[in-house]
Chains A and B, each alone.
Chain A
């Protein structure tokens, strides 16, 4: 049976990161790894071991070059969509998870709660409104036609 491989190596796993890591995290991880490899390289006992660390640094740099640049990262993510997809998803309603979503959901809820008690809570933004009649501009030609249309 073909079973997906959740542990398959990727650029992200090489840097010890999740596919949704931020660019800062990527750069930090890359720099940290390069630093450690350089330390090891300087302490290497044989030329072969030294070369091994040099090669590894080249590899890490190449990975960083791809992931730390938005366009290249986009291409890489596109070619490896499974890395982002085969991750655990949050099943809880946004109300319980994302702070921003929680605020907006609660705001709507509080607005309704207070409205039921006769209090108007002003919308946070126009994203919470649906009445924009105040934005209408009086245009004589149009308004005359509309008046004519009125029963």
Chain B
């Protein structure tokens, strides 16, 4: 019996490995700088990288990279491909492993070691590959080289049919290098026996023993793992195992093989008998044989309690490991076992184990396995409450067991339990992120996360749009409308697809594919891609309420930033190992992204915009018609259409905002050229501009007056949301002003318009900027007029063309001043007020008001309008003074003349002279008045004065 001894402690061994690593790294450095002949240098470097790769503590990624470097230096060495295959094999990339093992065999066709491992990798793949793998093992066991060659040829044909060499890995069809002596046939002290050739040299058609001595165990384990046990095959393997190698009976291996046989369903009695055979009978004290006997004895226990009693004894005596006891218990007494119990009995039985056993991790797994097994049976039988109970108990054993959380969430879905559904799925999702966060590795559970999010997104979409066959066209408008009316379903689709997309991106190892940029992307494009992804992580991932999500986000952000740095490095981009390998997947993901943006999000937004615009337009037209015709029927119809338009807007705008949020975070700067390349859009199209137009049309279509304060608040809330999405689009602010005006919140409308004006200066499109500016100024003007109280308005309108009573004018002025304090920039209103003041004889104050207004003018139009008003006011003031003077002169003259003529006494020359004197004075005044009128251009007054002069002159003539 070989003694396993440890000369060095584990720390010392670790130190030894570290030293070896350091030596190798130093040697590599020196070799690379050396001036040795190229061939010698390459071979030595390849070997150095190889030794570094196979060191125990070398990180798997580094090991892979070292082996690939070694292959680059020495591309015909079979062991390099073999170990590369082993690396792939270890990380679960069985397809990759097969390719490398096969390549190793091309260079070392006689290597049974490579054959065995090739077979092992094939056994992990699909049915066809498994068949070939088993055939290879069988041929190896029988020593049939010819058959082995045929199976390898079959494998080659199969691989050729599956995938032409597009995955960047070594496929080397027909590549032939110098065939070397396989390293596994070199005598070695590390693994004696198994790798030593035995038997006769291979001749064509003559069977020879397999040079990999462990093949019988591999073949046996594979067979025992299958669904059906074939006695003949088993016997054959055991027969092979029974043969001594170099005189050494493999007692431990043989005993273990029998143990596996029993665990695969062979009866303990039969195993007991085999253990009495010639191989083991003389080795009853061998620990492996004692282990076997203990297991057989336990398996034959007559009752569960006896089983437990015996198990305790064997464990205490050190003859049986705990794990074996647990496995035996499960296979005998677990669900689907040889002596199955009910779930209650099975769980009760577990409590009969000794206390120390119940504390062990393996026992906890046994309990969990039993709970899970019975829960799955309950699920199958649609006993959902019972399944829930059992899984909840399983969860108490391991709160982080993803499969249990997942199953509980499925039960909640199956039973449509609203209380349990959301928390259960939150937990199932949370755990998938938590594992990655805890491991500090985004790749952990990545595929599950991707599929989970994609599944939810697909479920939502298919609920309304049906199952989409690949390459099928778009769903109908009705289907999309129905889907959009289910707000929750849309939210699920939007959120889950974005999460699926993020996880799909971080999956890529190539930095350009991770970012979603072409290989020759500019630095700007790389930065844009990085920023888009970081933004998406922040808006999508970071918002999730899951434990560990902050850590996950941080890891994602670091990865994205690193990828952008690597993508900027030209050398690294050229050397990108994964670029070709991942290209088709990356392209497919980009295509999906574009499809989502253009064919789904945008299309849905357009549908919503059209619907809202149409219904709002219909309502507006009906209202206009009703106003004109004053027909009650038309009014009723208009009211109905208005209510419908409001309802449509209330349903559509929130959904539109949701869609827009997800549409606008997509990296359109990067996607637009790709869309153009694919012929989806014109090269000079402004995609984002188009999206924005539809979105703005959607939110600003409804111009109706809000029915009440609540509706106003709601619509303002939508506009806020829209503005948050497109803060640079001032049309939304204008729409906000219009809504506030319609809702009679004039001060707010005024304030928003005023606040927006300075921002217009930053707009690039000056024509559009001017238009918006004009609209805002009009809004500001209208706010003051609109805010006028009704009573004041009636005073203004009630006068018609007549002069207003003074008290009305005073009232109007008072109200006007108050409004002007609230809306100081409303220049038209100011002008209106000024003329009322002039009307009331407050010319000076009016002119001062106009001068104040000039300082507050918002634009040139306002300024020009105020200047004109000022001029007019000044002119009016001057005119008024002139008229008053003319009136005074004429009225005064008229009075004096009348008085003088009244005082004329017949025969009194004095009175006559006095009258003439007065007449002369009056004519002079009238002439003065006429001159004043002529100068001022007041024709009426001039004519009046002229007529008066004529009358006075006629009277003068008469008197004379």
Contacts and interface: CB of A to CB of B under 8 A. Distances in A.
Interface in A102-151: 102-107, 109-110, 113-115, 117-127, 129-137, 139, 141-142, 145-146, 149-151
Given A96-B334, A96-B366, A103-B221, A120 B488 contact: no
A2 B489 contact: yes
Nearest to A121: B252
Nearest to A150: B23
Most interface-central of B184, B256, B463 (chain A CB within 10 A): B256
Given A132-B83, A136-B47, A86 B376 contact: no
Contacts, number: 252
Interface stretch (A4-12, A30-38, A44-52, A53-61): A4-12
Interface residues of A, number: 73
B373 interface: yes
Interface in A58-96: 75-76, 78-82, 84-93, 95-96
A82 B413 CA distance: 13
Interface stretch (B141-149, B187-195, B822-830): B187-195
Interface string B1-19: 1111000000000000001
Contacts of A150: 23
Contacts of B491: 2
Nearest to B422: A1
Given A100-B225, A114-B291, A135 B79 contact: yes
A86 B455 contact: yes
Interface in B445-481: 451-452, 454-456, 458-460, 462-463, 467-470
A122 B406 contact: no
B426 to A, nearest CB: 13
B462 A8 contact: yes
A43 interface: no
A88 B380 CA distance: 10
A85 B452 contact: yes
Contacts of A93: 365, 368-369
Given A79-B470, A86-B455, A127-B120, A92 B373 contact: yes
B90 interface: yes
B256 A4 contact: no
B218 A125 contact: yes
Contacts of B402: 89
Contacts of B372: 90-92
A22 interface: yes
Given A82-B455, A88-B410, A95-B323, A2 B214 contact: no
A134 B186 contact: yes
Contact of B404 (A10, A91, A133, A141): A91
Nearest to B3: A118
Nearest to A101: B225
Interface in B295-344: 318, 321, 323-324, 326-327, 330, 334
B191 A122 contact: yes
Given A6-B414, A107-B256, A135 B83 contact: yes
Contact of A142 (B31, B334, B414, B489): B31
Contact of B379 (A88, A120, A146): A88
B362 to A, nearest CB: 8
B214 A125 contact: yes
A110 B467 CA distance: 50
A109 B221 contact: no
A19 to B, nearest CB: 11
A82 B596 CA distance: 18
A5 B4 contact: no
Given A89-B403, A125-B218, A127-B90, A119 B286 contact: yes
B30 interface: yes
A83 to B, nearest CB: 8
Interface in B634-664: none
B641 to A, nearest CB: 32
A149 B252 contact: no
Interface footprint category on B = 35 or more
A135 B491 CA distance: 57
Contact of A146 (B27, B117, B226): B27
A5 B117 contact: no
B288 A96 contact: no
B287 interface: yes
Contacts of A80: 458, 462, 467
B47 A137 contact: yes
A137 B214 contact: no
B455 A120 contact: no
A107 B224 CA distance: 13
A4 B409 CA distance: 10
A97 interface: yes
A104 B23 CA distance: 35
B190 A131 contact: yes
Contacts of B51: 136
B264 interface: yes
A98 B193 CA distance: 31
Contact of B470 (A76, A117, A125): A76
B369 A5 contact: no
A151 B54 CA distance: 22
Given A92-B368, A118-B3, A127-B89, A106 B327 contact: yes
Contact of A99 (B3, B47, B225, B365): B225
B809 interface: no
B365 A134 contact: no
A99 B218 contact: no
A149 B27 contact: yes
A4 B488 CA distance: 12
A121 B421 contact: no
A81 B447 CA distance: 12
Nearest to A9: B467
A134 B218 CA distance: 21
A63 to B, nearest CB: 11
A119 B299 CA distance: 24
B327 A95 contact: yes
B416 interface: yes
6 contacts: A5-B459, A81-B451, A110-B288, A118-B3, A129-B191, A142-B27
Interface of B: 1-4, 19, 22-24, 26-27, 30-31, 36, 40-41, 43-44, 47-48, 50-51, 54, 56, 79, 83, 86, 89-90, 113, 116-117, 120, 123, 127, 183-184, 186, 188-191, 193-195, 214, 217-218, 221-222, 224-226, 250, 252-253, 256, 259-260, 263-264, 286-288, 291, 318, 321, 323-324, 326-327, 330, 334, 362, 365-366, 368-369, 372-373, 376, 379, 391, 394, 401-404, 406-407, 410, 413-414, 416, 418, 421-422, 451-452, 454-456, 458-460, 462-463, 467-470, 486, 488-489, 491-492
Closest 6 CB pairs of A and B: A134-B188, A92-B369, A82-B455, A91-B403, A100-B225, A134-B190
Given A2-B489, A90-B372, 20 more contacts: A2-B492, A3-B418, A6-B414, A8-B463, A88-B410, A93-B368, A96-B369, A99-B264, A106-B260, A110-B321, A118-B287, A119-B4, A119-B287, A122-B253, A125-B117, A125-B120, A125-B214, A135-B54, A135-B183, A135-B184
